[in-house]
Amino acid sequence: MKSKLMLTSAVLAFVAGAAQAEDLTLCWAAWDPANALIELSKDYEAQSGNKMSFEFVPWTNFADRMLNELNSGGKLCDLLIGDSQWIGGAAENGQYVKLNDFFDANGISMDAFIPATVTGYSEWPKGTPNYWSLPAFGDVVGWTYRKDWFARPDIQAAFKEKYGRDLGVPATFAELKDTAEFFQGRDIDGKTVYGASIYTERGSEGITMGAMDVLYSFGFNYDNPDKPYEMEGFVNSEGAIAGLEFYKALYDCCTPPGSSNSYMGEGVDAFKSGQVALQMNFAFTWPGFDTDATVGGDVTGYFANPAGPNGDKFAQLGGQGISVVASSEKQEAALTYIKWFAQPEVQAKWWKLGGFSALRAVVEDPGFVASAPYAQTFLDSMAIVKDFWAEPAYATLLQASQKRFHDYVVAGQGSAKEALDGLVADWTEVFEEEGKL
């Protein structure tokens, strides 16, 4: 009788479990970490009984596709790992589920994550404890360099002769430009190489991410810290103008021919093919270099953004948080995924698979720095991040900077001051339309 009862209970539990099993769709960009997430999610499927489906969109179309989905109230995505700048719009338009109650109920504390990622990926309004996502993938713009070329005695001697100092990881942006200039057009093993690959892409967000990565350290600020949205003298400060002039100079002097529309993929190609000595790119690309047959191992070195003329060091934040889409009919199941994903052991495995965990228990682990050659650079970079506007009108603000920067840096139209004055005018108009000015 007892065994019959147990059998019945087991069958009922199985049936109940089967009835609750959901097919969840997670939407993200199509890139290497997405493949790692598929692998990681197999554990979730095994534990929960839910089935995971994935919708990955190439980066250049990611914002178009996913914002369209959110704006139309589409039901394609139950979970969305959306870009950090979307948080304001998604929160204010009710497109993401607010997670505060869920975090409280499940003992998930935002203090457990790197503070910059909480501010960047989860909070809206910024600086307030209103959370719309769980930090999922920490990312930041940094640099890779050809360690093997830097170590060659003939190259070191030539550099010292020209600049009177040792060739090494640049400590300032001025040194970075010297280094890039030194390598530009240089013959290495019978092949012409170039200085640096930097972001210049026009269509989505490329040149803004690249230029901002430099401008911050030169003194650019989005607005007056004491008077939000007051941009005159901050966006177009003397330091910001010098920073934009520097970025153009770097583009003109030291990039490979045909670099007028380069972003992450083009940067990876340029570096892996041995075309450039230095490469600006998001940290997510680094595991791919480390395991690459050509530039893997000791061939590649990593460094965080060097300092600007006044010693300031900042870097452009990348990365995303994972959110539950408000129009999803499977919100409860989607929340179980976030609960599972927040666990320290899952986050530790995430890092091992190539995902950049933002959990402090992972990155502050004594073994973290030694776990990968780029781990220290990742930590250094994450400590100095700044992010683009995360306002609901971020897309309009972004398009304005894309145009202003590309017109000046790549097309060579006007001056840096005119570009930034124009940007202040564009952004002022946007905030006036938003009723924030």
Partner 1 sequence: MSDPLAHRVASATPPQLAHRIRGLSDRTIAWLFVAPTIFLLLAINIFPLIWTIRLSLTNFRTNRPNNAVEFVGLENYRKILTDEDTWIALQSTAHFLIWTIVLQVLIGFTLAYLINKKFRGNDLWTTLIVLPMMLSPAVVGNFWTFLYQPQIGLFNYFIAFLTGADPASFSMIGDVALAPWAIVIVDTWMWTPFVMLICLAGLRSIPPSIYEAAECDRASKWRQFWTITIPMALPFLMLAVLFRGIENFKMFDLVVQLTGGGPGSTTLLTSIDLKREAFEKWRTGYASAYAVILFVTVFGLASIYVKALNKVKDR
Residue numbers at the binding site for partner 1 (CB under 8 A): 63-64, 67-68, 70-73, 89, 92-94, 201-203, 256-261, 392, 395-396, 399, 403, 406-408, 410-413, 433
Helix, strand, or coil here: 392? Answer: coil
Q: Which is nearer to partner 1, 107 or 258 (CB)?
A: 258
CB of 396 to partner 1, least distance (A): 4
Cα–Cα distance, 339 to 354 (Å, whole number): 20
Cβ burial of 28 (10 Å; 0-12, 13-18, 19+) is buried
User: Please, what sign has the CA dihedral across residues 138, 142, 143, 147?
Assistant: negative
Q: Which is nearer to partner 1, 259 or 320 (CB)?
A: 259
Q: Which tokens go with 167?
A: 């060739």
Question: 313: how many CB neighbours lie within 10 A of its CB?
Answer: 18
Q: Under a CB-based contact definition with an 8 Å cutoff, are residues 177 and 242 in contact?
A: no
Q: Which is nearer to partner 1, 258 or 311 (CB)?
A: 258
Q: Which is nearer to partner 1, 89 or 354 (CB)?
A: 89
- Report the run of H or E that residue 280 belongs to, with start and end: strand 276-282
Q: Which is nearer to partner 1, 94 or 233 (CB)?
A: 94
CA-based R_g, the chain, Å? 23
CB of 49 to partner 1, least distance (A): 35
CB of 347 to partner 1, least distance (A): 32
CB of 143 to partner 1, least distance (A): 22
Q: Under a CB-based contact definition with an 8 Å cutoff, are residues 302 and 374 in contact?
A: yes
Calculate the CA 381 to chain-centre distance: 11
CB of 69 to partner 1, least distance (A): 11
CB of 93 to partner 1, least distance (A): 6
Q: Which is nearer to partner 1, 363 or 420 (CB)?
A: 420
- Report the run of H or E that residue 17 belongs to, with start and end: helix 2-20
